[in-house]
């Protein structure tokens, strides 16, 4: 019996563990599709995606079409004779004609518990919304945006210590785990049961915009804590502290012991800087000045001694 022939499609670092899972499953990864090299860094040098780098290191053929809508692109894909196409944060929409090429169809590893958080930024949106739980779904792809039936699922709690970065890394590994199981079961002759998504509870995770990073202290402190955590490591929350715009890397919602205008400093202490909010207070514990590096609130207060008098 010939091994399962897989074409893998992915682009960012999140996708790399899933590519490694395909390689380690006993299946044959016959090609990797990824986004074209893009300018990056201060020099705007053309830079390969993390998935391309991993594929080249493994000696796998790499395809980087701008689109899969052309006949030529579909013919190239079909020439690899894939049994299965695995798609993980690829960045291109697959048409019905593309979805029909692999014998088993196309699977997607999606970083949410569908139908909640369909779309581009499910990890950060879950933290922003204060969700208690997230996870990854292995989904049979359809033409709609993340609408296909779910084959397998893994769940994980979201703690108050989680950031966009820590949850990203955990879900990346969970995605590889659930994908490995799915491939193993198919290679053992099993047909995975496809569970249609619920028609209620559909929420879209729109792409993150840098403008969303600005903190509005008139909002509840807990919502701002979610914002700070979700936007670490990108785009990083920003706020004004007594007239200075800074990036805020770490903050917690705390009780406000007295009424004060939103945005005003309630007190400063060894634990951080407490800023009045619409509800409660935000305790800033790590931040970054313009042109500087990430520092603790204590170091910031050493640089701005006039704030240490706040009570």
179 marked as part of a ligand binding site: no
Helices (H) and strands (E) in the chain, counts: 8, 17
Q: Coil, strand or helix: which one is 41?
A: coil
Residue spans of alpha helices (H) in the chain: 16-24, 50-57, 71-79, 96-99, 122-128, 164-187, 221-230, 297-303
309 marked as part of a ligand binding site: no
- Name residue, tokens 């699977």: 107
Under the phi-then-psi rule, with left for phi > 0, alpha for psi from -120 to 50, and beta for the rest, what region is 243?
Answer: left
Q: Hey, which residues does 284 pair with through a beta bridge?
A: 251, 273
255 near 280, Cβ under 8 Å? yes
114 marked as part of a ligand binding site: yes
Q: Coil, strand or helix: which one is 121?
A: coil
Q: Report CA Rg, the chain.
A: 23
Q: Hey, which residues does 140 pair with through a beta bridge?
A: 107
Q: Extract the tokens encoding 261.
A: 């205008």
Residue 212 is classified by DSSP as: G
Distance of alpha carbon 203 from alpha carbon 117, whole angstroms? 5
Please give the annotated binding residues for (6S)-5,6,7,8-tetrahydrofolate, written as ranges.
112-115
Please give the annotated binding residues, written as ranges.
112-115
């Amino acid at each position: 019996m010939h091994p399962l022939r897989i074409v893998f499609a992915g682009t960012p670092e999140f996708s790399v563990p899933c590519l490694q899972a395909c390689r380690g499953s006993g299946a044959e990864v016959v090609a990797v599709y990824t986004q074209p090299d893009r300018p990056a860094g201060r020099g705007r040098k053309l830079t390969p995606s993390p998935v391309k780098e991993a594929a080249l290191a493994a000696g796998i053929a790499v395809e980087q079409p701008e689109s899969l809508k052309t006949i030529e692109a579909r013919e190239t894909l079909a020439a690899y004779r894939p049994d299965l196409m695995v798609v993980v944060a690829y960045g291109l929409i697959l048409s019905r004609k593309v979805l029909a090429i692999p014998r088993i169809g196309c699977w997607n590893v999606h970083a949410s518990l569908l139908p909640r958080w369909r779309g581009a930024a499910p990890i950060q949106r879950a933290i922003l919304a204060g969700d208690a739980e997230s996870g990854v779904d292995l989904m049979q792809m359809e033409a709609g945006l993340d609408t296909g039936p779910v084959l397998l699922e893994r769940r994980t709690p979201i703690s108050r210590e989680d950031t966009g970065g820590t949850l990203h890394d955990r879900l990346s590994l969970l995605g590889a785990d659930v994908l490995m199981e799915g491939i193993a079961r198919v290679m053992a002759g099993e047909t995975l049961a496809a569970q249609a998504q619920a028609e209620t509870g559909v929420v879209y995770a729109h792409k993150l915009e840098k403008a969303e990073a600005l903190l509005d202290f008139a909002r509840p402190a807990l919502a701002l804590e979610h914002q700070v955590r979700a936007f670490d490591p990108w785009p990083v929350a920003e706020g004004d502290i007594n007239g200075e715009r800074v990036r805020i890397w770490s903050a917690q919602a705390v009780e406000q012991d007295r009424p004060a205008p939103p945005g005003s400093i309630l007190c400063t202490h060894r634990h951080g800087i407490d800023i009045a909010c619409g509800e409660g207070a935000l305790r800033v514990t790590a931040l970054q000045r313009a042109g500087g590096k990430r520092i603790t609130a204590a170091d910031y207060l050493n640089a701005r001694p006039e704030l240490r008098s706040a009570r």
